[in-house]
Amino acid sequence: MRYLLALLIFALTIIDIFGWSASLGPGLSVKNAILYMILLGLAARFVQQGGIRLELPQVHTWFGILIACATLSWLFTAIIIRYRFYTVVGSGIELKNFLLDNVLVFGVYLYGTRNYSDAKFLLKCLLLAIAVANAVAIGNVAGLIDIGTTKVGEGTLVGRMFGAFGHANETAALIVCLLPAYIAATLSSKGVERWMWGLAGAGSAAAMVMTGSRGAFVGFALGLVFGLYICRSIISWRRVVTVAAPLAAVAVLVLVLASVEFGDILISRVTEMLLNPASSSGDRVAIWIPVVSKMLATPITLITGFGWGAFEVMGFFYGTHNHYLWLWFELGIVGLGSYLMLIGELLVTARRAAQTASDEAARYLIAFIFGMIALSGALIFAQIFKPWLYIWIYVGVTMRMAVSATQPARADALEEHRGAAGIGSAAATVRRAGAAPGSSSARPLKPAGRGSSSLPR
C-alpha cells in the first residue's frame, strides 16, 4: 500500500508541475479520480481485515465539526437564504474540493500506513517530490529549462516567482510548512543522503525567497519563536546551537543565490516589511476592512457567518488574503473555532508523542510543530488552495508517526496495570482462602511490569 500512496504523491506533483488539470466531469479532476481509486482500494483492505479502529478521535471530532458546519451552512444558504448569483452546485463542488477531499487525503495517509517505517518512507517521498517541483520552478525562471507552467508575476506581482503550487503566496506557504521537515531529514541521515536532503531543503528555501511572500517570512519567524517555546522541554539546546551555525551559513548562501535573479524584488519587499511594517501591511488592511465592515453591518453574521461560498457573491474585488477571516466570514465562530481546535489538537498530539518517541521520530514530530505554526502564521496573510492536499498528506503521515511513537508507551502502561491488577487479585484470593498475607501458604509474587528482573530488556 505504501508504494501506491507514494505513487499518488508523485502523480499529484507531476500534474501540478505540468498543469494537467483536465476535468473528467463536474467536480472530478484527474487528481480526484486517482485519490478516489486509492481510497476504494484502502476501503477494500479494511473490509478484508474486518473493519477499522478509529485513531486520534479528537482530531476526527474537530474535523467532523468543521465539515458538518460547512455542509449545514451550504444547505441553509442554498435552500433558505438564496443569495443572488449563488450557485448551489458550484458551491457544493468547492465544499468537496476544499474540505471533503482534504479529510479523505488525511484519512488515506493516516490509515494507509501501518507503522513508523511506512510513514517515514512516505514523508521522504513527499519532501522529494516538493523539492523536485521547486527545482523545476527555479530552473524555469533562471532560463535553464522550460518545463511546465512556472512563471514570474506581472503587474503588482512583478518579479515574484509562481511555483507549481499556485500563487506565489501559496507556494511559499507550502514550503515554509515543510522546511523544518527538510532539516529533520538532513539531521537524521548520513553520508550522501544527508547532503541530498540538505540540498533539497536549501533549494526549497531559495524558492520560498524567490516568491517574495512576506507572509511566509512572518510565518517562519513565528514558527521559530513559538516552536522553540512549545518544545523547550524536549529540545537539546546544545544541539540547537550546534545545528544553528551551519543552518545560518546555508541561509546566507541561499539569500545570495536567490538575489542573483530576484535581488530587486527580495530587497524591496523584505526591507519594506522590516523597515516600514505599517506601509507594507497597508494593502492587507485595505482588503480586510470592507470584509469586517460587511459583517458588522449584519452583527448576527459575526456568530453565524454568511454561509459557505457566500464570499464570492458579495461583490468584493479581492479575496480575503486571510484564511481565518475567510472561515469567520463564511462559517462564523463554529467554523473558525473548529479549525483552530483541529490545528491545536494536531500540535498537542505531536508534542505528546515526541516526549516518548525515538530520537529520529522526535525530530520529525518537532519539525511538524515548527512547520504547522509557520503555516498558521503565513495564513494570516494568505488564502491557499492547491497546497492543501500536500499539507494534509504531511499531517496524515506525521500523525501515523505520532501514533506509532505512543503505542509502546501505551503497551508498557497496560502491562504495568495488568501486573498491579494481578498482585491485587492474588492477594484477594489468599485472603479468601484464610491465609494471612506473609504466611507460609502465601507465595511471594513478582510484578510482571516494566523493569521486572524476570523480563529481558
Phi and psi based region of residue 331 (left: phi greater than 0; alpha: psi -120 to 50; beta: remaining): alpha
Cα 137–323–298 angle (5° rounding)?
150
Q: Is residue 264 part of a domain?
A: yes
Q: Is residue 443 part of a domain?
A: no
- Per-residue cell: 391: 499539507
Q: What is the pLDDT of residue 413?
A: 47
Res. 304: pLDDT tops 60:
yes
Q: Is residue 117 part of a domain?
A: yes
Res. 420: pLDDT tops 70:
no
- Per-residue cell: 393: 498528506
Confidence of residue 333 (pLDDT cuts 50, 70, 90): very high
Domain carrying residue 96: 2-411
Q: What is the mean pLDDT of residues 380-384?
A: 91
Nearest to 335 by CA among 309, 313, 311, 303: 303
> What are the C-alpha distances in Å from 121 to residues 197, 358, 421?
14, 16, 40
Q: Is residue 383 part of a domain?
A: yes
Highest mean pLDDT (candidates 159-163, 230-234, 336-340): 336-340
Cα 337 from Cα 369, distance rounded (Å): 19
Q: Is residue 284 part of a domain?
A: yes
Q: Which of helix, strand or coil describes residue 24? A: strand
Q: Is residue 262 part of a domain?
A: yes
Res. 150: pLDDT tops 90:
no
Q: Is residue 439 part of a domain?
A: no
- pLDDT above 90 as % of the chain: 38
Count of domains for the chain = 1
- pLDDT above 70 as % of the chain: 74
- Per-residue pLDDT tens digits for 432-442: 444 444 444 43
Cα 73 from Cα 66, distance rounded (Å): 11
Q: Is residue 429 part of a domain?
A: no
Confidence of residue 248 (pLDDT cuts 50, 70, 90): low
Res. 226: pLDDT tops 90:
yes
Q: What is the mean pLDDT of residues 420-428?
A: 48
Res. 334: pLDDT tops 90:
yes
Q: What is the pLDDT of residue 153?
A: 59
Res. 332: pLDDT tops 80:
yes
Decide the pairing of beta strands 23-25 and 161-162. unpaired
